Amino acid sequence: MPAIELDHVSKVYRRHGRRRRFATLKSALLTGSLVRHLRPDESFSALRDVSVSVPKGACFGVIGRNGSGKSTLLKLVAGITKPTSGSVRVHGRVSALIELGAGFHPEISGRENVFINGIMLGLSRREISDRFDEIVEFAELEDFIDAPVKTYSSGMYMRLGFAVAINVDPDILLVDEVLAVGDAGFSLKCLDKFAEFKRRGKTILLVTHGLSMVERFCDEAVWLEAGESRTIGDPKRVVQRYLTDVEQTEDKHLAAQDAKAQQTPVMQAPADPQALSDASETQGADDAKPPADMFLAKEGRWGSGAVRIQEVTLEGPGGPAHVFHTGDPMTIRMQVSAAHPVDDFAFGVSIFSPDGVCCYGTNTDIEEMRSKSLQGDGEVVFAIERLDLVEGTYKLDVAVHKRDGFSYDYHRLLYTFRVKSRTKDAGIYRPRHVWRFTDNVRFKEPDSRTDD
């Protein structure tokens, strides 16, 4: 018999429009519509036809974007709200780590609050007395337990809430993004506690944005999207699908953002040298100045227009993209056109990190290609074999200019791409690398969670 069973569950929240907000008691009484006005103007489906079955002893992960219905799902299982249609069946005692320390009264001591909270969660007074020391020890609050809760830091508050809830000894534990509680040490303790729960054959329903935790910890997972279950099953597969979808959305978002940035700029005369030098001075540039305009970290487009970059597309391994993975190939494709023949020209590309650091910049002149002629429409391709950047959002400059720097068409930070990485390494550039060890240096299996 499954511990949790959701059968074609839908939950519709009513949303009251303007009309309802002004309908106070007076108008309700005047128009005699008290009952009618309690009905919604419009409704919002938080969950749509979701079916989930969690076997006893399993750890089940729920992932999805904000507002996708994860918390609603948890509340339904906890019995806080009822489904609009469908059925929710739960077998066993449930403890919900949804709002830690809900019901703590700020004026009274931690000790008294433990009792109140414990009884609220369904323990008897005796059970709490028996577990009291354990609770306090787990929360690491031995010294403060008799102080009023209002004097606690938010971390202490959460720890106490967590300690009580976890000691309820439920058959089913509902967890909503509570591992952000406390410091690293406490998080580890919470994880240990979850592992212990799992060992003892308890059921865990875990709502989290920590995808690695879902992969490592859960036996099964569901990805909710706008209230519907998109994928359900093996956590690795579910997480992968979710991540792919997140990237696609980001891609669209970045594309829209770039399109907007490219619409606004007007063709300007080449930047005023005076302004440029002023700007570089205010930036406190040292002697070894890069070209002054590098410091004007402002999107825009300028140049004489003798040669124009009509269109720039970024391509990943699978076609046009804005989201790349570290190590992916990246192709920058520029459509250029010159109305009249030009013989002095150079093409340039630079990549900037979000805080304005130039990660890499080059042009054809630097690379000692001497221009000969350009006329009509053409294509320039800058192909990067491996994009070895760490995770982050990067901006791109592309330009065509005279070899002395006079701009034909300069696109300043108009293109955005995002690099994703599974490792959270620091810096900007990731050199390809390997670690080597002699036999006496050993590591645990990569799947063990203590290395995290």
Interface with other proteins (CB under 8 A): 13-14, 24-26, 28, 38, 75, 78-82, 94, 96, 98-99, 102-103, 105, 107-108, 112, 115-116, 119-121, 124-125, 148
Distance of closest approach, residue 423 Cβ to other proteins, in angstroms = 36
CB of 3 to other proteins, least distance (A): 16
CB of 95 to other proteins, least distance (A): 9
Q: Which is nearer to other proteins, 37 or 253 (CB)?
A: 37
Cβ nearer to other proteins, comparing 78 with 374: 78
Nearest alpha-carbon partner for 349 in 362, 366, 364, 365: 362
Radius of gyration over alpha carbons of the chain, in Å? 30
Nearer to other proteins, 39 or 209 (CB): 39
Nearer to other proteins, 125 or 289 (CB): 125
Tokens, residue 412 = 């300043």
Q: What is the DSSP secondary-structure string of 410-426?
A: EEEEEEEEEEE-SS---
Closer to other proteins by Cβ: residue 100 or 334: 100
In the complex with other proteins, the residue whose CB is nearer, 17 or 329, is 17
Residue closer to other proteins by CB (options 107, 278) is 107
Cβ–Cβ < 8 Å for 7, 50: no
Runs of H (alpha helix) within 264-358: 273-282
Q: How far is CA 30 from the centre of its chain?
A: 49
Q: Which residues pair with 295 in a beta bridge?
A: none
Taking the C-alpha atoms of residue 436 and residue 433, their distance in angstroms, rounded to an integer, is 10
Least spacing, CB of residue 119 vs other proteins, in Å: 5
* Dihedral pair phi/psi, residue 82, rounded to 5°: -110, 150
Distances (CA, A) of 205 to 4, 156, 167, 382: 9, 24, 17, 48
- Least distance CB 145 / other proteins (angstroms): 16
CA nearest to 66, candidates 176, 158, 162:
176
CB of residue 112 vs other proteins: minimum separation in angstroms?
7
In contact, 419 and 394? CB cutoff 8 Å: yes
Beta bridge partners of 10: 85
Question: Taking the complex as a whole, how short is the minimal distance between the CB of residue 14 and other proteins, in angstroms?
Answer: 7
Residue with Cβ nearer other proteins (84 or 337): 84
DSSP string of 172-231?
EEEEES-TTSS-HHHHHHHHHHHHHHHHTT-EEEEE-S-HHHHHHH-SEEEEEETTEEEE
Closest to other proteins by CB, 170 or 348: 170
Q: Residue 217 region, left (φ>0) first, then alpha (ψ -120 to 50), else beta?
A: alpha
Cβ at position 99, least distance to other proteins in Å: 3
Taking the complex as a whole, the smallest distance from the CB of residue 28 to other proteins amounts, in Å, to 7
Work out how close the CB of 120 gets to other proteins at its nearest, in angstroms, rounded to a whole number: 6
Beta bridge partners of 386: none
Complex with other proteins: residue 107 or 192, whichever CB lies closer: 107
For the residues of 44-80, what is the DSSP string, one character each?
EEEEEEEEEEE-TT-EEEEEESTTSSHHHHHHHHHTS
